[in-house]
Amino acid sequence: MGDAAAAQLGAVSSGVLVHPDAVPTRCSVTPTGARGPPGGGGSRPTPVLQRFFRRAPWAQWMTWVLPAPANPRRGRPVGTDWVTCAMTFDGQSASSGPSDRVPAAVAGALHGRELLSHPFYRRWEAGDLSLEELGRYAGQYRAFEAALPELLGTIHASLMADEAVEAAELIARNLADELGAPEPHVALFDRFAAAVGTEPDAPAGPAARSLVATHRDLAADGAVRALAALAAYETQASAIASTKADGLRRWYGIDTGGTAFWDVHATMEADHGAGALAALAALDADVAEAARVGADAWWAFLDERQAEAPSDRVLS
């Protein structure tokens, strides 16, 4: 982030408490389009982390909105960027307990791995993906979606075995949603895949197999590591799903049947992300390393998708 952008940060309030002597550090910039930052209009923190700010004396992470550059290939503005910074006071994050430390640790693990900043998702939001690319993406993403109920079930069983009942109940709600709210999510996903022309039974490629294997390996290590990796994705997933659904409608003419999977997750994932963070806070465990492992696996998955892009469609 340049000096001019940094100079603008103090001019915009995010609506949460910040110590008057706190300063922004470790800033990352994520393009979000015309809708503004995750969580709605105005300059506010993401909806998941905002829940934890209310319990803390001071905010640890802040979000501002800055103008985004025009899309040089299409000659139109792409909206705004949201800038997330760690807020430090006396050189230390202002955390005081698990409900503060856990979301800050997950957010820190996502530094440089915020998925909405990935070139592939930037192209989706700008309407620069071909339908063929969307179809291949859906065929690969389905491997994770199909594995998710099993992963959640493994985490739940591990938590129950450890008598971590409060955390287990939070994951049970997530699993119930996945299996039937409003219907099995894999069925919703298959309608999206059909809408973008995915080949039936497309085999999972290396990055998709690695993504699923990473989550399974973390689940085998124990509930905390599996939950940390899940939180790294689900705390971003509401904003990602909203952006995807908007792009499908705006640029590709996909109807509500095709966007339903993302529309459902645009609202539901805010609760799932908050639930994962709350479960981790109840366990009061170190989460940063496993969260980063999960974040890296998702980034590699998108790298593979971007590597398949035709050369004339790659945004700089």
Q: The CATH number of the domain where 149 resides is what? A: 1.20.910.10
What number is the average pLDDT over the span 135-152? 98
Q: Please tell me the predicted confidence (pLDDT) of residue 24.
A: 52
pLDDT at residue 172 above 50? yes
Residue 244 forms part of a structural domain: yes
The two beta strands, 80-89 and 70-71, are: unpaired
- pLDDT category at 313 given cuts 50, 70, 90 is low
The residues pairing with 213 across neighbouring beta strands, listed in sequence order, are: none
Mean pLDDT lowest among 64-68, 238-242, 272-276, 283-287: 64-68
Residue 143 forms part of a structural domain: yes
Instruction: Give me the phi and psi of 28, to 5 degrees please.
Output: -130, 150
Range of the domain at 272: 130-309
Which of 51, 78, 96 is a domain's end point?
96
- Whether residues 192 and 60 share a domain: the answer is no
Which of 71, 96, 121 is a domain's end point?
96
What number is the average pLDDT over the span 203-225? 97
- Whether residues 142 and 281 share a domain: the answer is yes
- Whether residues 145 and 189 share a domain: the answer is yes
Residue 117 forms part of a structural domain: no
- Whether residues 188 and 269 share a domain: the answer is yes
Residue 113 forms part of a structural domain: no
What number is the average pLDDT over the span 187-200? 96
- Whether residues 193 and 91 share a domain: the answer is no
Residue 115 forms part of a structural domain: no
- Whether residues 169 and 44 share a domain: the answer is no
Q: Count of domains in the chain?
A: 2
d(CA 58, CA 51): 13
Q: Please tell me the predicted confidence (pLDDT) of residue 314.
A: 53
Give the HSE-up count for residue 184: Cα atoms under 13 Å, Cβ half-sphere. Answer: 8
Residue 111 forms part of a structural domain: no
d(CA 103, CA 82): 18
Which of 96, 119, 146 is a domain's end point?
96
- Whether residues 168 and 292 share a domain: the answer is yes
Percent of the chain with pLDDT over 70: 67
Average pLDDT in the chain: 78
Q: Which comes out higher in pLDDT, residue 280 or 37?
A: 280
- pLDDT category at 71 given cuts 50, 70, 90 is very low
Q: Please tell me the predicted confidence (pLDDT) of residue 133.
A: 97
What number is the average pLDDT over the span 7-20? 34
- Whether residues 180 and 287 share a domain: the answer is yes
Q: Which comes out higher in pLDDT, residue 1 or 239?
A: 239
Cβ-proximal residues to 139 (8 Å cutoff; 6+ apart), any chain: 193, 198, 199, 202
- Whether residues 139 and 243 share a domain: the answer is yes
Mean pLDDT lowest among 29-43, 134-148, 235-249, 252-266: 29-43
Element holding 85 (H helix, E strand): strand 80-89
- Whether residues 171 and 220 share a domain: the answer is yes
Q: Please tell me the predicted confidence (pLDDT) of residue 200.
A: 86
Residue 316 forms part of a structural domain: no
Residue located via tokens 């994932």:
269
- What does the block give as tokens for 27? 């800033």
- What does the block give as tokens for 7? 């100079």
- Whether residues 274 and 136 share a domain: the answer is yes
- Whether residues 147 and 58 share a domain: the answer is no
Of 275, 315, 247, 181, nearest to 34 by C-alpha is 247
Residue 226 forms part of a structural domain: yes
Q: Which comes out higher in pLDDT, residue 89 or 121?
A: 121
